[in-house]
Chain A
């Protein structure tokens, strides 16, 4: 019985737990509640994925109202996969969060933090599960508002201005999206994804539809931090509490990318997005620029958190390149990189959270000799960094493999070159951290000692995951290929 309710359970669990945190008013209880809820959500996602693999995509009508009148939750290969890794990352970050949150946010405010954490998770999972464009907006705003608050929890006063900027730009993005949805509704009279999709071929020439497409694309690109709409990201990541950075990096941008996939392929269809309209011609150069600008900025950055934030912008570029190739291999590469990068970046930011827990702000000076002071933390960072570069045997290599293959398949030489050069640039910035941590002498009286096991274990779990998926590609690539094929309409 309960198995039929899984799609909604996913969203309801954290939504109910969030106000509980407020009522508990106790940081220890709130931590455990969040962790347990997140793990439960993760198990729900596992079941959901299993169901989807067995019986194909499934539809759930909220409140028994049949779509397209009621709100529909529709789970297929793509969002079952995204739900799985987003909830997994939330669960792992929640588990690791305890010590870091107490140190960076304080025991007295921790329960507020966890309330926002759960709301953020609710929003993300809702966005991914829903099959309704307006419902998607609602959840997008729930997650975004929670994210603004989460960022503003940062110890540094600059976190406030970063959160404010994030708020302004995020709201503009959301508004653009809403305008687009309004136009769609005006032209079609429906808000349901599949319903919209069936009506779309008749309306391709409509100017309203094209305007809606443009508004939605720009709005989501803002949320996604696609160059040149990335300006909110570096500061938000750098000044947010370390745990929040880990959470945002692994989930928020990935979910935005998911929305983009849905809009391009499910809603409007690849023929419209990439045939009638030249979307690839517009977003591919932007994605290429993102790779270069993000990597170059990362190379000259002195604060390691900011450096990784810029690297995220570059990595988003890779994913968008994969999408804009609009072939099965390209989409597979983009989706698998979305998954791999979520794991890699969360591992990196969690290891930084460990470092921050011990030494405070992680500038290049502060991490001098950290390889000796915190060997396990830096070991995790180095391995995850190798994966980010795309060294063979790591998850990053697998995504690069598919992305470059996809570019070569289409005969787009220069795109293959861009990706290769981008990975060379990532060697430079990862190596700067490595040199600082292993070769610079330890200064007198520098804080030394490992982070708590509660933080190290989840970090190393993620590191082990990226190494595992670097050699056994069946799960990640298999799911991504399934999702790519269903997006392109090759399987029902």
Chain B
């Protein structure tokens, strides 16, 4: 019942948005109401899981033994909670941003946004790999019109990269992996302890893992990361929710699901290829951070930072121990709050001052104090410093690396944190402390109120997650890591 509600709400929302498309106020109220209802459903589902309950929903059999079906489990709940709570904030933010920026085709924008969220819910609650794959591809296709929203020559080019890499990796590698899994295991259900154990040789399992990890292009593991910086031409709310939270987190979430429920940690530890992929992910973390250092465009820098931070989740998954999985799961939530704050801020800066380059942002703290404070909080959280929620995910990832005896990975994590600090912190510091261009009367010119509210709330979220991370721990500890 609750599950049906959660899955259907965004679709109903999309339908209503189409119906009332000609009345902007009504349309945006529908989006907002819809996001709140969705969050309510998912919160109720989270309660169900915490109290040990289950819920599942079977639609129809697509192939013999594989059906479109949904169920709830802790990791999916976490992902859905993060995405739906941030959808509320993004809805508030969009109202301010889209109007202030005079964007065209706003109805289309809100409709595809709702469909994208429907896909995310589908991914979060998928009960087997086929269902997840259906929702995964729907997410790719429904976000394409959002990424190419402006419809100019640049957006066509970007759209090609976006669709080429995302459809290419998924239809090219991931589908092959899924079919092969089906071939080997005879099922695609997500089962505790995995479905592959005992059926595959080490080499085959290694190849499968490679196909999965790179085939899940949304995880943006290098060298299949190009779509993410490219997608930054999209309007700020799209970058914020989809490319800091929904789409990219759908990618790493899928990696975690595959590792936990398809391979199983026991099998994964025994695969030699797992080590190499772990180092590949670590390399992705470092290289993306280095590239981020020299980006002057704020959104591009944030995009590379996202690639690097996604690498953390993949690292956590491939560490193949409890702490790694908890760290990876936490990173989904913590990074989402931190990064969405940063993207909200970058959009707010664009609207209020028209600035996109970091070099122009000296002294901006004086005209946009709230925005830049929120930016500071978000940046600290992404770096992983107290008192921000980002600390916890880094903490557990470090523990996981130690537990697995991967000192090199621990070193990479530390270096990367320093790099994060180096490319993020100078922005708010210069904004507050370096003398910028003098603004007439020193007046304060913030972005529209809706935007400011949204970015303040998400910044507060970052701090709140530091003090009250317990529910997330509880949720993640419930993930069954071995066969019952």
How many residue-residue contacts, CB under 8 A, span A and B? 68
Stretch at the interface among A64-72, A269-277, A418-426: A418-426
A-side contacts of B163, CB under 8 Å: 427, 431
Instruction: Report yes or no: B148 in contact with A404, Cβ–Cβ below 8 A.
Output: no
B440 to chain A, nearest CB (A): 40
Instruction: Report yes or no: B63 in contact with A401, Cβ–Cβ below 8 A.
Output: yes
* Assembled-state Cα–Cα distance A390/B160 (Å): 18
Instruction: Report yes or no: A472 in contact with B134, Cβ–Cβ below 8 A.
Output: no
A393, CB-defined interface residue at 8 Å: yes
B182, CB-defined interface residue at 8 Å: yes
Instruction: Report yes or no: A421 in contact with B172, Cβ–Cβ below 8 A.
Output: yes
Q: How large is the interface on A (under 10, 10 to 19, 20 to 34, 35 or more residues)?
A: 20 to 34
A470: nearest residue on chain B (CB-CB)? B62
A473: nearest residue on chain B (CB-CB)? B62
Instruction: Report yes or no: B137 in contact with A391, Cβ–Cβ below 8 A.
Output: yes
Interface bits A453-492 vs B (CB < 8 Å: 1, else 0): 0000000000000000001111001000000000000000
B164, CB-defined interface residue at 8 Å: yes
Instruction: Report yes or no: A439 in contact with B148, Cβ–Cβ below 8 A.
Output: yes
A408, CB-defined interface residue at 8 Å: yes
Interface bits B176-218 vs A (CB < 8 Å: 1, else 0): 1001101100000000000000000000000000000000000
Instruction: Report yes or no: B183 in contact with A405, Cβ–Cβ below 8 A.
Output: yes
A108, CB-defined interface residue at 8 Å: no
Instruction: Report yes or no: B179 in contact with A427, Cβ–Cβ below 8 A.
Output: no
A392, CB-defined interface residue at 8 Å: yes
Instruction: Report yes or no: A386 in contact with B141, Cβ–Cβ below 8 A.
Output: yes
A416, CB-defined interface residue at 8 Å: yes
Interface bits A173-192 vs B (CB < 8 Å: 1, else 0): 00000000000000000000
B-side contacts of A431, CB under 8 Å: 160, 163
Interface of B, secondary structure class, is: helix
A409, CB-defined interface residue at 8 Å: yes
A389, CB-defined interface residue at 8 Å: yes
Which residue of B61, B138, B176 is within 8 Å of A420 (Cβ)?
A: B176
A-side contacts of B68, CB under 8 Å: 471
Instruction: Report yes or no: A404 in contact with B137, Cβ–Cβ below 8 A.
Output: no
In chain A between 384 and 408, which residues have their CB closer than 8 angstroms to a CB of chain B?
386, 389-393, 398, 400-401, 404-405, 408
Interface of A, secondary structure class, is: helix
**Contacts A408-B180, A473-B62 given: A392-B172 contact, CB under 8 Å?**
no
Instruction: Report yes or no: A405 in contact with B179, Cβ–Cβ below 8 A.
Output: yes
* Assembled-state Cα–Cα distance A299/B63 (Å): 32
* Assembled-state Cα–Cα distance A472/B67 (Å): 10
* Assembled-state Cα–Cα distance A439/B160 (Å): 12
* Assembled-state Cα–Cα distance A444/B160 (Å): 27
Instruction: Report yes or no: B138 in contact with A427, Cβ–Cβ below 8 A.
Output: no
B175, CB-defined interface residue at 8 Å: yes
**Contacts A392-B137, A416-B176 given: A439-B171 contact, CB under 8 Å?**
no
Instruction: Report yes or no: A435 in contact with B60, Cβ–Cβ below 8 A.
Output: no
Which residue of B134, B155, B168 is within 8 Å of A427 (Cβ)?
A: B168
B-side contacts of A474, CB under 8 Å: 61
* Assembled-state Cα–Cα distance A220/B133 (Å): 39
B-side contacts of A409, CB under 8 Å: 183
* Assembled-state Cα–Cα distance A473/B148 (Å): 33
Interface bits B149-167 vs A (CB < 8 Å: 1, else 0): 0010001100110011001
Which residue of A420, A435, A473, A477 is within 8 Å of B175 (Cβ)?
A: A420
B-side contacts of A435, CB under 8 Å: 156, 159-160
B290 to chain A, nearest CB (A): 31
* Assembled-state Cα–Cα distance A438/B68 (Å): 32
Instruction: Report yes or no: B167 in contact with A405, Cβ–Cβ below 8 A.
Output: no
**Contacts A401-B179, A404-B179, A439-B156 given: A390-B148 contact, CB under 8 Å?**
no
A-side contacts of B134, CB under 8 Å: 392-393
Instruction: Report yes or no: A472 in contact with B60, Cβ–Cβ below 8 A.
Output: yes
A382 to chain B, nearest CB (A): 10
In chain B between 112 and 168, which residues have their CB closer than 8 angstroms to a CB of chain A?
130, 133-134, 137-138, 141, 148, 151, 155-156, 159-160, 163-164, 167-168
B11 to chain A, nearest CB (A): 14
B164 to chain A, nearest CB (A): 7
A-side contacts of B182, CB under 8 Å: 405
Instruction: Report yes or no: B171 in contact with A393, Cβ–Cβ below 8 A.
Output: no
* Assembled-state Cα–Cα distance A393/B59 (Å): 13
Instruction: Report yes or no: B171 in contact with A424, Cβ–Cβ below 8 A.
Output: yes
Instruction: Report yes or no: A471 in contact with B62, Cβ–Cβ below 8 A.
Output: yes
Instruction: Report yes or no: A439 in contact with B172, Cβ–Cβ below 8 A.
Output: no
Instruction: Report yes or no: B137 in contact with A393, Cβ–Cβ below 8 A.
Output: yes
A362 to chain B, nearest CB (A): 20
In chain A between 44 and 66, which residues have their CB closer than 8 angstroms to a CB of chain B?
none
* Assembled-state Cα–Cα distance A111/B102 (Å): 55
B-side contacts of A420, CB under 8 Å: 171-172, 175-176
A-side contacts of B168, CB under 8 Å: 424, 427
B-side contacts of A390, CB under 8 Å: 171
A417: nearest residue on chain B (CB-CB)? B176
* Assembled-state Cα–Cα distance A473/B180 (Å): 20
B171 to chain A, nearest CB (A): 6
In chain B between 25 and 73, which residues have their CB closer than 8 angstroms to a CB of chain A?
60-63, 68
B173 to chain A, nearest CB (A): 8
A-side contacts of B60, CB under 8 Å: 471-472
* Assembled-state Cα–Cα distance A400/B155 (Å): 31
Instruction: Report yes or no: A424 in contact with B179, Cβ–Cβ below 8 A.
Output: no
In chain A between 232 and 284, which residues have their CB closer than 8 angstroms to a CB of chain B?
none
A-side contacts of B151, CB under 8 Å: 438-439
Instruction: Report yes or no: B141 in contact with A427, Cβ–Cβ below 8 A.
Output: no
* Assembled-state Cα–Cα distance A231/B283 (Å): 50
* Assembled-state Cα–Cα distance A472/B60 (Å): 8
A-side contacts of B130, CB under 8 Å: 392
A412 to chain B, nearest CB (A): 12
A385 to chain B, nearest CB (A): 11
Instruction: Report yes or no: A404 in contact with B63, Cβ–Cβ below 8 A.
Output: no
A-side contacts of B160, CB under 8 Å: 431, 435
B-side contacts of A421, CB under 8 Å: 172
* Assembled-state Cα–Cα distance A261/B280 (Å): 48
* Assembled-state Cα–Cα distance A473/B163 (Å): 27
B130: nearest residue on chain A (CB-CB)? A392
A-side contacts of B172, CB under 8 Å: 420-421, 424
Instruction: Report yes or no: B141 in contact with A391, Cβ–Cβ below 8 A.
Output: yes
Instruction: Report yes or no: B180 in contact with A389, Cβ–Cβ below 8 A.
Output: no
B-side contacts of A386, CB under 8 Å: 141
Instruction: Report yes or no: A392 in contact with B179, Cβ–Cβ below 8 A.
Output: no
A426: nearest residue on chain B (CB-CB)? B171
B390 to chain A, nearest CB (A): 35
B140: nearest residue on chain A (CB-CB)? A391
* Assembled-state Cα–Cα distance A409/B171 (Å): 19
B-side contacts of A389, CB under 8 Å: 167, 171
B359 to chain A, nearest CB (A): 32
Instruction: Report yes or no: A404 in contact with B171, Cβ–Cβ below 8 A.
Output: no
B145: nearest residue on chain A (CB-CB)? A438
B364 to chain A, nearest CB (A): 35
B-side contacts of A477, CB under 8 Å: 63
* Assembled-state Cα–Cα distance A393/B68 (Å): 10
* Assembled-state Cα–Cα distance A473/B130 (Å): 14
A432: nearest residue on chain B (CB-CB)? B160
B183: nearest residue on chain A (CB-CB)? A408
B167: nearest residue on chain A (CB-CB)? A427
In chain B between 2 and 36, which residues have their CB closer than 8 angstroms to a CB of chain A?
none
A-side contacts of B155, CB under 8 Å: 439
A-side contacts of B183, CB under 8 Å: 405, 408-409
B164: nearest residue on chain A (CB-CB)? A427
B376 to chain A, nearest CB (A): 39
B-side contacts of A439, CB under 8 Å: 148, 151, 155-156, 159
* Assembled-state Cα–Cα distance A409/B182 (Å): 11
In the complex, given contacts A398-B63, A408-B180, what are 11 additional A-B residue pairs having Cβ atoms less than 8 angstroms apart?
Answer: A386-B141, A391-B167, A393-B137, A400-B175, A401-B63, A405-B183, A416-B176, A423-B171, A424-B167, A424-B171, A473-B62
11 of the cross-chain contacts (CB-CB < 8 Å) are A389-B171, A393-B137, A393-B138, A401-B63, A405-B179, A408-B180, A423-B171, A427-B163, A471-B62, A472-B60, A473-B63
Top 4 nearest A-B pairs by Cβ distance?
A392-B134, A408-B183, A392-B137, A439-B156
